[in-house]
């Protein structure tokens, strides 16, 4: 069975590094293991700091400011990934995408996000690039404007169903205005819920390693209510920490129709050998709602959890970006 062919489930790799793009990345595509890739400031920070593949270009660019250097390095990798993925994209317009995030410090600046998103998309010059935009109030405005101009968008840092709804509204509205078809994904973060809450849940006798999946499925149902074939739910942050769960836990339990799972490279490698290759049983929206009611009965404020995770997510991306810029000019 092919999950891609049978239920339109796609696995994307949440990793970018220059040598990887020329070797293992292409093998994973050829073997039909992955159908796309994503990046973020933390990924680039790690790749650039730990790989000698960037040394020569870094030296050549040193006369520029740090952000210009970062963009040149990142866009070189994104262009290469787009080239490698382009044949897949031509065969299946749902897939073959690579994502590049706008400057995280622009998360509350709609105009700045729009300007940078347009500039990055045009500079890279490949129609299988997605511009990654955080799900903030400014981000929703940017998502609508970018899609209205035919630019593919990866809406990121979604924790709450309301964020998923707001993203879908913005993307749907932008697509309705665009004369050029484009695609979008709504990236729902999963594992961070369980890492934040499991200690408290265990103390209260609540099933652990469950909230991340339940919340993601609730968001999935909300996105699908828009019935827009060009907007898919994407399950992100699906790596596990520690040994309590199978490494492919957040992939195996979210093999849903018309969805994407973007996983770390190590998780994908484990999935190849031991992950589930059968569709997951779909959790109903009613079951999700009942779980949230149960949490409320245990005095757990889900909205407080959403706010905490969003704040932490935005701050972490900003810190990663600042650290990256500092290392580039060190």
C-beta of residue 133 within 8 angstroms of C-beta of residue 115: no
DSSP alpha helix (H) spans, the chain:
3-7, 18-22, 24-30, 41-50, 55-61, 66-91, 110-124, 137-148, 161-177, 191-203, 211-224, 249-252, 265-274, 285-297, 302-328
Residues 6+ apart with CB under 8 A from 56: none
Report residue 239: phi and psi, to 5°.
-85, 155
Angle between helices 211-224 and 161-177 (to 10 degrees): 30
Q: Write the CA distances from 237 to 168, 212, 213, 284, 294, integer angstroms.
A: 20, 10, 11, 22, 25
**Whether residue 227 lies in the annotated active site:** no
CA-to-CA distance for 217 and 238, rounded, in angstroms? 13
DSSP string, 67-130: HHHHHHHHHHHHHHHHHHHHHHHHH-TTS-EEEEEPPGGGTT-HHHHHHHHHHHHHHH--TTEE
Which residue of the set 23, 55, 132, 169 is catalytic? 132
Q: Which element (helix H / strand E) includes 53? A: none
Just list the catalytic residues: 132
């Amino acid at each position: 069975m092919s999950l891609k062919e049978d239920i339109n489930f796609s696995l994307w790799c949440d990793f970018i590094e220059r040598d990887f793009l020329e070797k293992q990345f292409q093998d994973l595509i050829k073997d039909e293991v992955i159908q796309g890739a994503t990046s973020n400031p933390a990924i680039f920070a790690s790749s650039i700091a730990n790989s000698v593949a960037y040394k020569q270009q870094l030296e050549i660019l040193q006369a520029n400011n740090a952000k210009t250097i970062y963009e040149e390095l990142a866009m070189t990798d994104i262009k290469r990934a787009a080239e490698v993925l382009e044949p897949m994209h031509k065969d299946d317009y749902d897939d073959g995408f690579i994502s590049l995030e706008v400057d995280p410090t622009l998360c509350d600046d709609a105009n700045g996000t729009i300007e940078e998103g347009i500039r990055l998309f045009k500079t890279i010059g490949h129609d299988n690039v997605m511009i990654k935009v955080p799900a903030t109030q400014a981000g929703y405005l940017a998502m609508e404007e970018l899609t209205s101009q035919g630019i593919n968008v990866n809406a990121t840092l979604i924790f709450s169903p309301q964020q998923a709804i707001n993203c879908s509204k913005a993307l749907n509205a932008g697509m309705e205005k665009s004369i050029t078809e484009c695609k979008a994904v709504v990236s729902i973060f999963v594992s961070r819920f369980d890492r934040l809450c499991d200690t408290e849940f265990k103390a209260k006798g609540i099933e652990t390693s469950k909230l991340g999946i339940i919340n993601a499925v609730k968001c999935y149902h909300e996105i699908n209510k828009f019935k827009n074939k060009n907007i898919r739910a994407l399950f992100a942050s699906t790596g596990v920490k520690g040994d309590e769960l199978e490494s492919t836990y957040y992939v195996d339990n979210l093999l849903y129709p018309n969805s994407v799972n973007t996983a770390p490279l190590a998780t994908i490698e484990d999935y190849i050998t031991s992950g589930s290759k059968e569709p997951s049983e779909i959790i109903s929206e009613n079951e999700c709602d009942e779980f949230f009611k149960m949490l409320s009965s245990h005095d757990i404020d889900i909205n407080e959890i959403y706010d905490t995770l969003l704040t932490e997510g935005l701050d972490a991306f900003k810190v990663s970006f600042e650290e990256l810029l500092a290392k580039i000019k060190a």
